[in-house]
Chain A
Amino acid sequence: MENTVDKTIITVVGKDTVGIIAKVCTYLADSHINVLDISQTIVQDFFNMMMIVDMNKADKSFGECATDLEKLGEEIGVSIKCQKEEIFEQMHRI
């Protein structure tokens, strides 16, 4: 069975621009965070992306990653949020 404990959902929302995915993925790769799934849509000109990542082998703590990604988001001009997958599983699965 997969280890669900370290699954984290990263959401990126904001104005679409070149290189959003590249910048986020570069950060994840540098931090040894494995991407399990990506989905992305444009809703009313807004870029919406959700990634499911595995932080099991990450070289930083959850808190650090969340803060770093938030800062990265500010640089690109989008909002990036990191949340444990558990909260979504709880809400949407019986």
Chain B
Amino acid sequence: MINIWEVKETNNMVEQENLDVRTITIGISLLDCIDSDLQKLNENIYNKITTVAKDLAATGEKIEKEFGIPIVNKRISVTPIALVGGAACKKPEDFATIADTMDRAAKAVGVNLIGGYSALVSKGMTKADEMLIRSIPMALCRTERVCSSVNLASTKTGINMDAVKLMGEILLEVAEQSKDRDSVDCMKLVVFCNAPDDNPFMAGAFHGVTEADAVINVGVSGPGVVKTALEKVRGENFEVLCETIKKTAFKVTRVGQAVAQEASKLLNIPFGIVDLSLAPTPAVGDSVADILCEIGLEYAGAPGTTAALALLNDQVKKGGVMASSYVGGLSGAFIPVSEDQGMIDAVQANAITLEKLEAMTCVCSVGLDMIAIPGNTKATTISGIIADEMALGMVNQKTTAARLIPVIGKDVGDTVEFGGLFGYAPIMPVNKYSCDDFINRGGRIPAPIHSFKN
């Protein structure tokens, strides 16, 4: 039987170490909503989302109460809209009406974000894909809760450099449109290499076409729990360090597994995956950078950071895989700048640069995340940063992403406030040398040799 110390340990994790379930995300297929009439399509989408997810918010609260574990977000991801809207949308404005519908549906069921305003263009763009991409600034500007993502590359297909170039321009357009609010709409847009079909985390969540009609994916979080556990093994060798991370990751993931199963039962929707990511928030003690410091670095970004992060990420996976019957999504440590107080401190101390962050993304999940850059950065330079990140993912056969925020009117030395869970970020310097001729070549970068495994 459970003893008092075990109960105390669990409750301390929640009360003092910020253990929570970061998100329950319902993935909903919209393939059966497709219609060539735009109005009918919008109606179908609204009805499907509000029917499947109608009990999501209430169920989340019920589980929260039963288990005593906070569930921070309830969210929805849908089939990439470029696929759903292709038959009905004749111009970018038509696509934006679907974003309006998603926003309305999200508000109706009480979820704070809805993902899937997406296109998968890793090899080429259809007319619909391109129209959707061109409609992104419009869609993000007039909606509140819609998140957008574009998959630009994969290990199997290489990098679609035309799309990379286009996304540099689109990102600046999004920044320009929300410049009176520090270009915050850029937070809702992310580009991927090897995007997973079952990611529960925003802004990159979409419901892949390989998925069932509806599915429950859960993202857990527990940087504070790992940090506290590591405080007890200061000065011990790597074996002890790794064991401690692994055991802690196991416990954290089990919470996600329990919540996912309960949600699946109550909502009568199959359980998909638990995403093992360590997702930080700006709250004190909820930082991945602080774990790196606890491992032995003065600041995140110091020499040794990449090795420490590689170790952390691997142990989180090893512990987590054992704890859940199905893991998926992004699964690893997130290293966003603005959402992590330790990372913000590192930027302010000049301990970490964009290039070091890029190196770190080789060994952890996701990529360059929530990084504010000067608003006068050229579109081609942004495309260059994106291309580098895509190449890392392509060659290393892993998911990488870029969520950059060019803040119009601000430069290195300034700070931007995103508010709430998104935190704040000092603007980071970008290499000022040009890559214009590289980006303007056009076409695509072929898939790497080790993708030919057949």
Which residues of A come within 8 Å of B, CB atoms?
9, 11, 37, 39-41, 48-50, 52, 62-63, 66, 81-92
Contacts and interface: CB of A to CB of B under 8 A. Distances in A.
Interface residues of B, number: 22
Contacts of B10: 87-88, 91-92
Contact of B4 (A50, A66, A87, A90): A50
Max chain A C-beta neighbours (<10 A), residue from B4, B8, B257: B4
A90 B2 contact: no
Contact of A87 (B1, B3, B62, B69): B69
Given A86-B67, A90-B258, A52 B6 contact: no
Contact of B68 (A40, A63, A87, A90): A87
A88 B251 CA distance: 10
Contacts of A66: 65
Contacts of B4: 39-41, 48-50
> What is the interface of chain A mostly: helix, strand, loop, or mixed?
strand
A85 B2 contact: yes
B434 interface: no
A48 B6 CA distance: 13
A91 B10 CA distance: 8
Contacts of A85: 2
A91 B11 contact: no
Given A52-B1, A86-B258, A63 B65 contact: yes
A52 B258 CA distance: 19
Max chain B C-beta neighbours (<10 A), residue from A84, A88, A89: A88
A37 B6 CA distance: 15
A91 B8 CA distance: 12
A90 B306 CA distance: 32
Nearest to B69: A87
B65 A87 contact: no
A39 B4 CA distance: 7
Contacts of A89: 2
A82 B7 CA distance: 11
B263 interface: no
A63 B62 CA distance: 8
